[in-house]
Structures are given as C-alpha cells and as structure tokens.
Chains A and B, each alone.
Chain A
Amino acid sequence: MAEREQIRKSSSSRSDDTSVEEVSSSSAKKGDELKAELDDLLDEIDEVLEENAEEFVRSYVQKGGQ
C-alpha cells in the first residue's frame, strides 16, 4: 500500500499545504465562469432545439448497428 499512498500524493497533498486556497479560489472562479456561460447558453438554446422533440425522439430508430 505504500506505493498506493505515493500515487495519491499529488491529489492528497493539495489538502495539507498552502496552495489549498489558491486551488480552491481558482477552481471556484472557473466554476463561476462555467456557470455564467451555461446560463447564457440556456437563455438562447430553445432557438436551436428540435421543435417537435417528442416526434423527433419517437421516430428515431436505428437498427442493424454493431
């Protein structure tokens, strides 16, 4: 198991040194950015979505695949 602990060092070390704050603030920032982008996309997505979703989904049958 010693080896296993060594493997996980890169991830576990994040929680016990000073870089924790940096990591969490940068990932929080990235998270906010992603969320804002998603919100924008959701605002406009209905324009491109299949109009008759039910018919589209119902009629799609794809047999004979590997």
Chain B
Amino acid sequence: MAITKVLGMETEYGIIIRGSADANPVAASSALINAYVSERNRRVGWDFEDESPGRDARGFAREGSMPPEVETHLVNAVLTNGARYYVDHAHPEYSTPECADVYDLVRYDRAGEMILADSIRFASKFLPPGQSVVVLKNNSDGKGNSYGNHENYLMDRSVAFSRIVAGVIPHFVTRQIYSGAGKVGCETFVPGDRVIDFQITQRADFFEEVVGLETTLKRPIINTRDEPHCDSRKYRRLHVIVGDANMSEVASFLKVGSTALVLAMIEDDWFARCGKDFTLRSPVGAVREVSYDTSLSTPLELQDGRSMTALDIQWEHLELAKKYSESFGLASVGGDRVGQDILSRWEDILEGLESDPMSLARQLDWVAKFRLIEGYRERHGLGWGDHKLRAMDLQYHDVDPARSLFSRLGMETLFSAEEVRSSVDEPPETTRAYFRGKCLQRWASSIAAANWDSIVFDLGREPLCRVPMLEPLRGTRAHVESLLASVSSPAELIEHLGS
C-alpha cells in the first residue's frame, strides 16, 4: 500500500531593491530574514548535519553533474511554525513545515508569503531613505534567469526509482495546463519564426534534461537528489523542481493534490495494473509545447505511437485516480475528505479547461494573468513586447497585498486570512513539525540548532543533546501534546524522552 504522502514546499522568492543603484540581493535577503527573526522569533539556527544534496537517487553521480552547494555561512532560521527561512544563493527562501495533507501544505505555503510581507515591513526601518524592497513569488526575471518552487513528496524506499520516473513524467508535463503561473514572452530559443507572446508556465523554458541531479543549470524534469531528511532505509523524498510557484490557492492545491495521488498510484503499481502507459516520445520538448499552447490543442506524441493532448492525458489520469481510490482508498493523500476534494476539483478544472479556459479566471494563475494583461494590452493598443506588460507580469506576483495585482483579481480562496495568519506562528498538528514548532515556541533559548530530522538542545552542560526525529509522522500533537504539557523544562523533556 502507498504510504502517506507527507508534503513540503520550498519557495525561492525574487527580490528587488528599489532606489539603489548597486543593491546586493544577498545582503537584502539577509536583511529581510534578520529583521523577521529578531522581531518575531528568538534566533535558532539551522543544523547542517543532515545535508547532502549531492546524493543521487539512482545510486551514482554522473560525471560533470553539479549538486548545489550548501551555504552554511548565510542566514538560516527555524520558525515556530516548523518552517525554515533562509538565504539561498541570492534569494530569500521559505520551506514549509512537513504537512500530512495538501490543505495544510497550501496553507503553510501561503503563510510563507505573509512572512515575507512581514519581513519587508520589519526591514524597512533599517533601509536607507529612498530604498524599498519588493519581493516576488514567481520563477523568472524575464531575462533567462529562473529560481525554483520545489515540491517534496515522501515515498516508499522500496519502490524502484525508475518506476517513479517513468510513471510521473507524463503527469509533470501535462499538469502544467492548470499549475502554470503564466508568463509574458519566452526566454529560450524557439526554432522557426514562431513567436511566443504569452505562455502557460514560468519554468518550461528552463528544462533541458529528462533526469538529473542539477537544479541550477541543465535543469531536469525529474531531479534525483536523494536526501530524505528521515529514515533513509524506509523512505525517499521525491524532490520536484519542475513546477511554478502559484499565487492561486486552487492551482496550488490541485498541482500538489493530483501529484500526491499519481505518486500513490505509482507506489501501488496502478498504471501497470490497468495496462496504462503514457510515456512521451520527447518529454523535454513536450514541456515546452504544452506551455506554449494556450489553446491546449497541441497533440503530444507517445512512445506507443498514439498522440494525445495534455488535456486528454490529464482526463485519463483523473479517471485512473478515481478507479484507484475505489480499490485502494485515499488514506495516502490525507483521507477521504481531502482525497475526494482533490478528485472533484480535478474534474471541475479539466471540464473548465475543455469548455473555455477563460472561465477559470478565478481559479488558475495563468488564466487570471492572461486575461488581465491581454485586457490591458487591447485597451491601450500595446504590443506584447511593451515594458508595461512585463512589469504587470512581475507585479502579479508581489507578496505585498497593496502592490500585488493577483490580490485585486478576486481569486477563489481555500482559507481565510486569519487561518493563514495563524499558520505563521503555529505548526501543523499532524507531522513531526508539531514537536519542532512547539519546542521552539517554549524553549528557543535552550535549542542550539534544529533541522528537519532532529533538534539539538543545549542544557547548559556538555555534551549538547540531539533529539532525533526520523519519522515524519511521529511527534504530532496526538503523540506529544500531553508529554509537552507535563514537563516544565527541556531537561525534563529529555529525561522523559530517554526513559
């Protein structure tokens, strides 16, 4: 049986310092995060003991492949909601805490936007007069530089990586029709005299390989980083780098919900059991073909000679998922309620895309953005290359609600602002993030460092005391709330845990 799809999402935000000729994005990112942690949290640093981004899921490292470096010298904090907030290369990055279902994941990802917006406010006090910081939740600067929004899915280690790769690629290529955040223009070479004025995704231009370890160049559809941040004998963490950051909660929900279901189906070998194989003849080319076609009519060639549109392939995935849920249930994606919501949302969105994509202007980012920019373009008689349109594209993603164009579009939401606000400080209750967050809320001054799978306590005596958390679904509220209530100090906690 498929295991529970514990989920996480890492977002690299774009950062702009207005009013400065020689602004340094690393310094600005550090200033943001420092301002936040000094205002809201006692500082607890990240523990790098567990980091090995160069490990390859295929069991080898390809010659010339370049794992990203772990930058241990930059600002790195753990928050009381269980998230990690840090400077990655030249970006502020927020990683959600581990979540046991897709509703929690979307809520904690949205909390990240709020944390960035708070950070801007806190940091503004320290900026020189005339300067301000703009933070964007998108994936491209429009000049050929991309930055990521990575999804993480807990998977059963015993399932062959090759089966995951083969099974999930068609979904990654075709889910773009609802997960795309939309983009004005194109940032890669397109053969012939074809001009791409507007495309469905931010990221499609940047994928050059099918499978690989890289994340900053020659980006692959399937990333092989094998760094589970938990018991590596039992689990793997599928690290998905191919998606766009979503502003729309509905798009984010369906992107992650459908993927969690497809991965559960792969664990239970459902595609093979049903005799279904959607292997694409040219997946890298297909990523772009799908993104470049807002009419959703481009046929994709399959290995077996058939050709199907992205929408056709998504309909078939949905139908397989429905049958799968009848045989295997929906426990692996968070239970019946969540699972049925994913299935019905999936169907609604595919129906909307089939009848008239523009009818989804309140649900999907690419549709909302396209309508807005196309409307403005028509009204003012502008060409697609006009700076105004590109500026609107960027401003759609601004995390400051006063500047964000997204926030003016009346998009459907899954959560109230209060629910998102509470997720800024409180951890999810159904994963180990609960234990991490609660310990940080109470005993930050006694915590030397923390990371995904351990907390290091400093009890004022040698040696430091590491509490391992190798099971993502242990340390939940149900497991530890009464224990935490029964102890009055971290020393007492450690004593209880040891006994």
Contact = CB atoms under 8 A, between A and B. Distances in A.
B351 A65 contact: no
A10 B408 CA distance: 33
A64 B408 contact: no
B387 interface: yes
A59 B25 CA distance: 12
B58 to A, nearest CB: 19
Contact of A61 (B12, B145, B361): B145
B392 A38 contact: no
Contacts of B361: 34, 38
A14 B351 CA distance: 11
A14 B68 CA distance: 51
Contacts of A58: 387
Contacts of B468: none
29 contacts: A3-B319, A4-B316, A11-B354, A11-B355, A14-B355, A27-B355, A27-B359, A30-B359, A34-B359, A38-B361, A42-B376, A48-B402, A49-B392, A49-B395, A53-B391, A54-B387, A56-B394, A57-B387, A57-B391, A60-B142, A60-B394, A62-B25, A62-B145, A63-B145, A65-B89, A65-B146, A66-B68, A66-B89, A66-B148
Interface residues of B, number: 54
B3 interface: no
B133 to A, nearest CB: 13
B90 A63 contact: yes
Contacts, number: 116
B315 A8 contact: yes
A31 B359 contact: yes
Given A10-B351, A53-B387, A53-B390, A65 B376 contact: no
Contacts of B362: 34
A66 B93 CA distance: 11
A49 B192 CA distance: 35
A2 interface: no
Interface in B49-101: 68, 88-91
Contacts of B356: 27, 31
B375 A42 contact: yes
A31 B379 CA distance: 18
A41 B373 CA distance: 11
Which among A7, A11, A50, A58 has the greatest number of chain B C-beta atoms within 10 A? A50
A21 interface: no
A53 B388 contact: yes
B358 interface: yes
Nearest to A23: B355
Contacts of A56: 16, 18, 387, 391, 394
A4 B309 CA distance: 13
B252 interface: no
Contacts of A34: 358-359, 361-362, 371
A7 B359 contact: no
Q: Lowest 10 A-B CB distances belong to which pairs?
A: A65-B147, A64-B89, A53-B391, A66-B215, A62-B141, A54-B387, A66-B148, A64-B90, A53-B387, A7-B319
Interface of A: 3-4, 7-8, 10-11, 14, 27, 30-31, 34, 37-39, 41-42, 45, 48-50, 53-54, 56-66
Interface string B302-319: 000000000000011001
A62 B351 contact: no
Contacts of B403: 48
B347 interface: yes
A48 B394 CA distance: 13
Given A62-B15, A64-B91, A65-B91, 11 more contacts: A7-B319, A34-B358, A38-B371, A42-B372, A48-B402, A49-B388, A53-B390, A61-B143, A63-B89, A65-B12, A66-B12
Contacts of B408: 41, 45, 48
Nearest to B319: A7
A24 B471 CA distance: 51
Contacts of A64: 25, 89-91, 147, 216
Given A27-B359, A65-B147, A7 B391 contact: no
A45 B379 CA distance: 12
A49 B319 contact: no
B405 interface: yes
Given A49-B395, A59-B16, A65 B387 contact: no
A39 B376 CA distance: 9
B359 A65 contact: no
Contacts of A54: 387
Interface in B338-387: 347, 351, 354-356, 358-359, 361-362, 371-372, 375-376, 379, 387
B148 A65 contact: yes
Contacts of B315: 7-8
B409 interface: yes
Nearest to A31: B359
Contacts of A27: 355-356, 359
B130 interface: no
B14 interface: yes
B40 interface: no
A8 B309 CA distance: 13
B290 interface: no
